[in-house]
Amino acid sequence: MENSLRNLQIQKMTPQAIHSLQLMTMPLGALLSYVGRCTSENPFVEMNYDWMERSAGIAARERWSLSLDETYAAAPQGESLYDFLTAQIRLSGLKGRRLEAARLIAANISRAGYLELDLSAAAGLLGMDAEEMLDVLRLVQSMGPPGVGARDLGECLSLQLGEDAPGGETARALVKNDLEALGAHRFTALSRKYKLDPRRLQELLDHIRTLDPRPGSRFSAGESVNYILPDAVVENDGGELSVSVRGRAESIVRFDGEYMSGTDDEEARAFLDERRTEAVRLIDSIELRYCALERLVGYIAEKQAPFFTGRHKFPRPLTQREAAADLGISPSTVSRCVKDKYISSPCGTFPLGFFFSGNSTTGGYSKKLLRELIESEPPRAPYSDARLSELLEEQGIELSRRCVAKYRAEMGIGTQNQRMRFD
């Protein structure tokens, strides 16, 4: 299979090669949808629904129905929470890194409506400070449905208690600070704490009970196949990383050869021979996609181990060309593997592209750290570019002295001598 990856970039564009390249760019959700269509058209292709339900964590038979009319001609009725949020984000007027941050937040909101993202790590990845990231989160939380994007149940309920809610600040304090006491019916203690008579406390409790603890659940039935399904998962077990990639051919699809027997009709057999060839091509292409992605994700996990294990605040800058050279494949193959793919990790769910330079975020957090180091340097003994390079490396950012000089110049920051002050 490794040879197949190398051959793919130099061989004549045969139908197999073209098919492999097309599938390589597909994220997991799109790949599963495509295979679903193939099952309705090719008698040799059978979808492995057991794996989909077990590994993808979705109702596969409902999501990828064999009925084209139900699944592929038109998406399921309703819209996903992700679609609902991104539609509002597009109309928000956000630009640049704030727009990237809003999209990243939306991608990491669970089906129940809760944020599953380390804001500090995400802020660093995007070259933003924590307060700016929090501002973007508050904007997403204001978009609706009420309570979406909360980090815990208390915040979720508090977000639903607007300025005009009965009890106002008291009700918000109750859900933020005393949910456990409310659940345990410690009404006497709560009445004393908030200086409320029992009747008023009961009124507030009755209203709180009308709030939705799972604001995203209403979108579940209408969730489309475009909802982000991570292609790979990185897990951290006490500093030891394990990597799993979804989408192996044998997991997704089965080859059913029974249709080759039982017919003497030449036209029918010619039709079946053609479909059999297509089925084999599909399985080979899926496996090639899996192997390429497995190698790339393993490479990313190895290079970014300090980030995934929490030893470094940021991932180290990489280039797709660097990855291609190390893996012995073409940059175009790396680019196809990266396109629209997501990786789930202890730090959150991120597009693979976030781990490569050439995307605005990588240079962004490198420049942010560089600026912070320069601003904190001794004014009478500013750091040289070589020393700045060393300090960045200590924080997991590998930048050469020349790259430091380039970034420094781009930010309009002077040389070591120019920054020296004696006052």
pTM for this prediction = 0.51
Residue 53 token pair? 């339900």
- Taking only the tens place, the pLDDT of each residue in 279-317 is 888 888 888 888 999 999 999 999 888 888 887 767 777
β-pairing, 253-255 vs 240-245, is unpaired
Most confident of 18-27, 47-56, 85-94, 95-104: 95-104
Q: In which residue are the tokens 């997403």 written?
A: 140
At 14 the pLDDT is 63
What burial class does residue 12 get, using C-beta atoms within 10 Å of its C-beta: 0-12 exposed, 13-18 middle, 19+ buried? Answer: exposed
Q: Is the model more confident about 312 or about 418? A: 418
CA–CA gap between residue 137 and residue 131 (Å, rounded): 10
Give the pLDDT of residue 275. 81
Which positions ≥6 away from 421 have C-beta within 8 Å?
A: 379, 380
- Residue-wise pLDDT for 151-166, tens only, equals 988 888 888 886 665 6
Compute the CA torsion angle 111, 122, 159, 230 (nearest 10 deg): 0
Report the range of poorest mean pLDDT among 11-20, 303-312, 317-326, 365-374. Answer: 11-20
Asked if 234 and 301 touch (Cβ cutoff 8 Å), the reply is yes
Quote the CA–CA distance of 113 and 82 in Å, as a whole number.
10
Q: Tell me which of 53 and 415 has the higher pLDDT.
A: 415
Bigger pLDDT: 150 vs 398: 150
Contact, 329 vs 9, CB < 8 A?
Answer: yes
Taking only the tens place, the pLDDT of each residue in 93-150 is 788 888 888 888 888 888 888 998 888 877 877 778 888 899 999 999 988 788 899 9
Instruction: Inform me whether the pLDDT recorded for 224 exceeds 70.
Output: no
pLDDT recorded at residue 3: 55
Provide the pLDDT for residue 345.
86
pLDDT of residue 298: 93
The predicted pLDDT at position 423 comes to: 55
SS3 assignment, position 91: coil
Q: Do the beta carbons of residue 261 and residue 276 sit within 8 Å?
A: no
Q: Residue 251: what are its φ and ψ, rounded to 5°?
A: -80, -35
Higher pLDDT, 316 or 358: 316
Indicate whether 221 pLDDT > 70: no
Residue 409: pLDDT above 80? yes
Is residue 385 within 8 A of residue 404, CB to CB? The reply is yes
How many CB atoms within 10 Å of residue 300?
A: 24
Give the containing element (helix H, strand E) for 350.
Answer: strand 348-351
pLDDT recorded at residue 123: 81
CA atoms of 189 and 181, how far apart (whole Å): 8
Strands, E assignment, 18-123 = 45-47
Q: Is a pLDDT exceeding 60 seen at residue 69?
A: no
User: pLDDT digits over 239-273, tens only?
Assistant: 888 888 888 877 777 776 655 555 566 776 777 78
In whole angstroms, what is the distance from residue 6 CA to residue 336 CA? 14
- Beta-carbon count within 10 A of 97 CB: 21
Residues 203, 166 contacting (CB under 8 angstroms): yes
Query: Half-sphere exposure (CA, 13 Å, Cβ side) for 320?
Result: 15
**Per-residue pLDDT averaged across 56-68, rounded?**
34
Helix%, strand%, coil% for the chain, nearest 5 = 60, 10, 35
